[in-house]
Structure 1
Amino acid sequence: MNWFVTILGSIFICLPFVLSKTMDSEIKMIVDFLQSFNKPSNVIANLCWGNSNIKDLITNLANLESPKSIKFVNDMHTKDIFSNHKIIFLVDIACAGATQFLDKAKAGKYFGRPYRWLVINRRDTKTVIPRELEAMDILTDSEVYVSQFDNHSCNINLIYKKPQNHGWIIEKYGTWTENNGFLLSREVTELVTAIRRRNLYGVTVVASMIITDNNTLADMQYLRHKETDWLTKCNYHQLASLYDFANATRKLIFTNSWGYLINGSWTGILGDISQGKADLPGSVLVITKERMEQLDYLAFLSPIDVKFIFREPPLSYQNNLYLLPFKTSVWFCIGPFVGLLIFAMYVNAYWDEKKCQCDNEEENQTTMLIPKVSDVSVFVMSAISQQGSNVELKGTLGRFVILIIFLVFLFLYTAYSASIVVLLQASSNQIRTLSDLLNSKLELGVEDTKYNRYFISTTKDPVKKAIYETKIAPKGSKPKFYNLVDGILELQKKPFAFNCVLGTGYRVIEKYFYEHEKCGLQEIQYIQIQNPYQAVKRGSPYREIFKIGLLRNAEHGLNDRTNRIMLSKKPVCLVRGGSFVSVSLVDCYPIFLLLMYGMILGQVLLLAELIHHRRMKKVEIE
């Protein structure tokens, strides 16, 4: 009996030292584990330790090179999560409140990225995964470390569930010993978490895609009609390599719009994602504040450059061709020069009349220029227009003046006519801004797409609003929305500006335009659309895997290859001036206008002459 009492007493005496030694090992393991990340961290601890052990833990953390703050909590509160990217949860699974703490973490979705967890497992268990974690959502993006003590060493394992409840996967993070500290696993140190877990074991990932044409689904793989639903087809091929990278199974659902917030609910792709029908968009999306609440944006895949495309219109659409051959200074010089010629002709005509009266040469008076301002002016005008006259100056000096007049105006007429011929074939480069487009004679049209109808009709800019109300959708007429091919064909036929995606518009232009028609193409941006990005459902466990996969696709040139197949660059002009352009009514408008004014003026002068003639007859009779 005495020996039993002695042994029992020894156990009670040594037990505090054993427990103390055990707690010291756990504290050192925790400190070395936190130090292995080599970065500042904020630790939120749910422990049921004694005050002395907690004090030791705080002291050891304070002595680290990379500072670690620690906060002890009994319950999970959002206010404790003060810095998402630096949080490490520390939980002792043996504590009474651990299960409740873990349940609240599951409800708050704190097991996913970017939070880390260190779960201290029971010493008396051989199972790597504690039963308290069986029902937790520890998925592909989680970083949950479970410690497993074995005598004087401790194994740290990363655990997560295979997608869609396929089971648990255990990754060895490292082994800790009191003497050597942490020995990290080679796989963990060389590969980031998303790369290690990129194999999704064939899990089904649903993508919501846009289809506006019933033939798109059949043409998705073969790309016979690239201009129809081009963005959907482009993203279909770009995401194919992403599914291969992640070893996932693709499932597609279809809608008819990208998704807009209408009356508090989402439509289109965003509607499918917000309702849980889809995991990621099958088409790239423009970043908006409202969409960021539903999506995490990952990578830029395909450019969407939406602009007005138009061919440089004939110069006559912007200017009066018949004023352009000479500079303003030349026109100002021609006016006084004509006045000087009229004066010189008048002096010569007056001198010839005096001379004929002295010589009594009555036979020459019928063909002699009468010294009147009207007659002399008409003679000079006939010389300017290269027309003859039935009167002339009889003297040598007068004939010399006539020669000079016709010679000077011959050169002016030749220069003017040659310039007009060139200007009739010239195009205008004066349309450079939206204001120029608004004030031009070009007709405007817009590609009939959901985003065009939305952005163009909701603009607040006064110039853009005026373009929409006066040229695109004037009151009382049908809005000018065209499908892509019809809009480009209108651009080919007449002075017309068409708003579309440049890459697809240029592809149709290459298909239908002659080489000389590809010259003079200009662009003006109307909708300020940002570059669209591929996104994934916010909080998706596949976020990092997809992000890395998309970036790898870009590095390997897969995205660029698809973009080159689907989109075209601006055509190169090779044969400018190689075609004949007929003169249109617009080119002749100033001449017709001058003719009309001349005819009206002629009728007014005729009426005035008739009135004057009748008055003179009355005077003679009286």
Structure 2
Amino acid sequence: MYRCVTFFCAMFLCSSFALSILKENDRKVIVDIIQSFNKPSDVISNLCWTNTSKKKLTISLTQANKPRSIKFVSALHDNDLVYPEKIIFLIDVSCKETKAFLNEAASRKYFGRPHRWFIINRPANEIRVPLEIDNMHMLPDSEVYVMQLINNSYSINLMYKIKPNREWIIENYGNWSTENGLTISSHAKEALAVRRRDLARASIATSMVITDNSSFADLEVLQYKQIDPVTKSGYHQLTPLYEFMNASREFILTDQWGYRANGTWYGMVGHLADGTAEIAGAVLFITEERMQHVEYMSHPMASSVKFLFREPPLSYQNNLYLLPFQASVWYCIASFVMVLIVAMYVSAYWEAKKVKEKHKGDDTAVLVPTISDVTIFVMCAISQQGSTVELKGMLGRLMILILFLVFLFLYTAYSASIVVLLQSSSNQIRTLTDLLNSKLELGVEDTPYNRYWFMNEKEPIRRAIYEKKIAPSGSKPKFFDLTEGVLQLQKKPFALNCNLGVAYKVMEKYFYEHEKCGLQEISYLQDDNPWQAVRRGSPYREIFKIGLLRNEEFGLNDRTNRIIYSKKPVCSVRGGSFVSVSLVDCYPILLLLLYGMILGVLLLLVEIFHHRKILNMPCGGGKSQRLLVDTTPHSELSDKMQVAEL
């Protein structure tokens, strides 16, 4: 009996000693592994160790070269995960509470990035996946380290699955022994996403927008590039990505990019939001609502959606007949005219007085010294018209010479400028407000995203563009096929909201070289650059990101863009066209003529009214009048009457 008690006591002491050594080594391995991450870490531990062992682990972490904090919990709490990228969950599968803890973490999707897990597995003779995590979905974005004692040496491995229904893949992170400490394998020094980019031909769901039934068959051939160009470019830009991942592609087709209606997303964004698809097959615009469900990776397209128009004639924005001279020149001309009127009046008055004293009669060829006559004489000189009267003196003739010579030069300069301005175009349309207030007609390429954005825009200027220019009340909304819209752009002052890269390709087919000059672009959307998007929380997110950036660096995106899209045409023969003068160009002159005719009629009526008022005035006024008899001879009176008639 005594020998049995002694034997069992010895066995107990040996096992306790071995267990203490094992726990001590466990602590060293944990500290060394966490130190090897070389980044801030807050350990959240769910261990069934003794308080002494927990205390020793805490001391070991805080006394390390790069101190780390540790917190022992029995369940998960949201306030423990303020900075999830710093969290390392530490568990021991030998503890009874481990299974419940893991199930709760799985329900909260804590096995994906950026969370990290460190699992202490039971000692065994071979590396194996702990039974407690065998049914968990730890996909390529997970970072789960499993520590296992094998033959007096610790093996640290990362375990994940390519897809939930696939087998486990085990990566060796390193080994730890009492003699050598931690030895990290060479391939473990690569980025996690780079190591796991080989998906072994697993299928990845891609949501693709197809608005024309023939587009799917034309994805490879690209016979009709102007039909669904965004989808076709996305297909060719994602092909190298799937080759980089060694994955197969599964298509999910839709006819909408994806918008929210009644709280539910539909279309391509709907497929990403509900997890049906992992990546978008066509680029998307960035919106605040979409960012809750998708993540934007890269900007593969150089093209964007904007209003495209040719610079309209200058007369569409300005009164051409005020542009030849600057404002200061007009002020100088007006001042010069006023000075001439005064000077001509003084000269005419002086000459009329001299002629009257010398000839004692009237000379019909002499300018009458009245303000109205002098003003009309100056206006005749300005408009290069002749006059039946003139000044006879040397001073007067010199003034007339200066008057006609100055206005001859001004008239020549003005006329030449008008001819140039009639062939000029305006570059004053720079903003959406300018576009709204311009005389340009507006149209929109008929695509699902254009119809959505224009019909649902709330910003005042953009809303006014849709209601006044695109879909005015009582008329059909101006949504055009791309080719039809580009042809209208060629024929008249017109602005088309379209995909620029495809519109420029259509222009290459229909436009003459001189018609490619003066092209202007104005963005309607606040952010008109489309981005490649993936599902938020996708386990392949980092692999997608690396592959998409690789496509950009290797020029694969640029190659696809050059095949499907065209750049803005270069203007090489701007002076090769002649524009006929239209009614818009003559509008100010016709308006001036109309105002002049109206003013002439009004003045005629005023003169008639004034003449009749004089004839109807009473002669006597109630008082006796003396009768004055003209004693002028009859012949002289007749001569005066003839002069008066002239």
TM-score (norm 2): 0.86
2:87 paired residue number: 87
2:317 paired residue number: 318
What's the offset of the Cα at 1:78?
4.0
Structure 2 CA distance for aligned equivalents of residues 131 and 366 of structure 1: 126
- CA-based RMSD: 3.1
Structure 2 CA distance for aligned equivalents of residues 242 and 541 of structure 1: 15
2:558 paired residue number: 560
State the secondary structure of the residue aligned to 1:577: helix
Structure 2 CA distance for aligned equivalents of residues 617 and 57 of structure 1: 125
State the secondary structure of the residue aligned to 2:169: strand
State the secondary structure of the residue aligned to 2:575: coil
Matching of residues 4-43 of structure 1 within 5 Å: 7-43=7-43
TM-score (norm 1): 0.90
Distance 1:471 1:6, change over 3 A: closer
1:435 paired residue number: 433
Distance 1:205 1:600, change over 3 A: same
Q: Which amino acid aligns with 1:432?
A: R
Distance 1:73 1:387, change over 3 A: closer
1:539 paired residue number: 537
Q: Does 1:174 align with 2:174?
A: yes
2:512 paired residue number: 514
Structure 2 CA distance for aligned equivalents of residues 524 and 414 of structure 1: 38
What's the offset of the Cα at 1:582?
0.9
Distance 1:338 1:128, change over 3 A: same
What's the offset of the Cα at 1:292?
2.6
Structure 2 CA distance for aligned equivalents of residues 118 and 393 of structure 1: 112
Structure 2 CA distance for aligned equivalents of residues 182 and 337 of structure 1: 102
Structure 1 CA distance for aligned equivalents of residues 394 and 80 of structure 2: 113
Q: Does 1:463 align with 2:461?
A: yes
Match of 1:575 among 569, 573, 582: 573
Structure 2 CA distance for aligned equivalents of residues 494 and 523 of structure 1: 16
Matching of residues 53-452 of structure 1 within 5 Å: 53-124=53-124, 126=126, 128-163=128-163, 165-189=165-189, 191-303=190-302, 305-326=304-325, 327-340=329-342, 342-343=344-345, 346-347=348-349, 350=352, 354=356, 357-358=359-360, 374-375=372-373, 377-390=375-388, 401-452=399-450
2:137–2:164 contact (8 Å) kept in structure 1: no
Structure 2 CA distance for aligned equivalents of residues 451 and 485 of structure 1: 18
Q: Which amino acid aligns with 2:570?
A: V
Structure 1 CA distance for aligned equivalents of residues 580 and 37 of structure 2: 76
Structure 2 CA distance for aligned equivalents of residues 465 and 398 of structure 1: 64
2:202–2:247 contact (8 Å) kept in structure 1: yes
Q: Which amino acid aligns with 1:490?
A: Q
What's the offset of the Cα at 1:98?
2.2
Q: Which amino acid aligns with 2:410?
A: L
Structure 2 CA distance for aligned equivalents of residues 235 and 390 of structure 1: 80
What's the offset of the Cα at 1:92?
1.7
Q: Which amino acid aligns with 2:475?
A: S
1:406-432 Cα deviation digits (max 9, x unpaired): 333322222221122122122223333
1:49-84 Cα deviation digits (max 9, x unpaired): 222222222221121122222222333444443431
Distance 1:48 1:320, change over 3 A: closer
Distance 1:156 1:272, change over 3 A: same
Pick which of 14-23 and 446-455 moved more. 446-455
1:28–1:178 contact (8 Å) kept in structure 2: no
What's the offset of the Cα at 1:266?
0.4
Distance 1:613 1:291, change over 3 A: closer
Pick which of 544-553 and 385-394 moved more. 385-394
Structure 2 CA distance for aligned equivalents of residues 155 and 524 of structure 1: 61
Pick which of 192-201 and 460-469 moved more. 460-469
Structure 2 CA distance for aligned equivalents of residues 184 and 164 of structure 1: 28
Distance 1:337 1:162, change over 3 A: same
Pick which of 166-175 and 519-528 moved more. 519-528
Distance 1:213 1:616, change over 3 A: same
% same residue? 57
State the secondary structure of the residue aligned to 1:468: helix
Structure 2 CA distance for aligned equivalents of residues 98 and 370 of structure 1: 118
What's the offset of the Cα at 1:95?
2.0
Structure 2 CA distance for aligned equivalents of residues 237 and 608 of structure 1: 80
What's the offset of the Cα at 1:496?
2.3
Distance 1:119 1:392, change over 3 A: closer
Distance 1:343 1:19, change over 3 A: same
Pick which of 179-188 and 96-105 moved more. 96-105
2:583 paired residue number: 585
1:163–1:201 contact (8 Å) kept in structure 2: no
2:548 paired residue number: 550
What's the offset of the Cα at 1:374?
5.0
What's the offset of the Cα at 1:519?
2.3
1:341–1:405 contact (8 Å) kept in structure 2: no
2:124–2:150 contact (8 Å) kept in structure 1: no
What's the offset of the Cα at 1:338?
4.5
Structure 2 CA distance for aligned equivalents of residues 402 and 12 of structure 1: 134
2:628 paired residue number: none
2:344–2:396 contact (8 Å) kept in structure 1: no
Pick which of 426-435 and 57-66 moved more. 426-435
Q: Which amino acid aligns with 1:226?
A: K
Structure 1 CA distance for aligned equivalents of residues 62 and 93 of structure 2: 24
What's the offset of the Cα at 1:181?
0.8
State the secondary structure of the residue aligned to 2:25: helix
1:310–1:522 contact (8 Å) kept in structure 2: yes
Distance 1:352 1:574, change over 3 A: farther
2:162–2:202 contact (8 Å) kept in structure 1: no
What's the offset of the Cα at 1:341?
6.0
2:125–2:151 contact (8 Å) kept in structure 1: no
Q: Which amino acid aligns with 1:346?
A: A
Distance 1:478 1:338, change over 3 A: farther
1:241-281 Cα deviation digits (max 9, x unpaired): 11100011112222222212221100111212233332221
Count of aligned residue pairs for this structure pair: 617
Structure 1 CA distance for aligned equivalents of residues 306 and 289 of structure 2: 25
Provide structure 2 residue ranges, at least 5 long, that are not aligned to the other structure: 621-646
Structure 1 CA distance for aligned equivalents of residues 539 and 253 of structure 2: 23
Provide structure 1 residue ranges, at least 5 long, that are not aligned to the other structure: none
Distance 1:5 1:444, change over 3 A: closer
Structure 2 CA distance for aligned equivalents of residues 596 and 15 of structure 1: 116
Q: Which amino acid aligns with 2:249?
A: R
What's the offset of the Cα at 1:337?
4.2
Distance 1:338 1:481, change over 3 A: farther
Structure 1 CA distance for aligned equivalents of residues 390 and 95 of structure 2: 126
Structure 2 CA distance for aligned equivalents of residues 306 and 36 of structure 1: 48
What's the offset of the Cα at 1:87?
1.9
1:353–1:371 contact (8 Å) kept in structure 2: no
Structure 1 CA distance for aligned equivalents of residues 393 and 161 of structure 2: 116
1:348–1:397 contact (8 Å) kept in structure 2: no
1:345–1:401 contact (8 Å) kept in structure 2: no
State the secondary structure of the residue aligned to 2:596: helix
Structure 2 CA distance for aligned equivalents of residues 45 and 391 of structure 1: 113
What's the offset of the Cα at 1:136?
1.4
Pick which of 173-182 and 85-94 moved more. 85-94
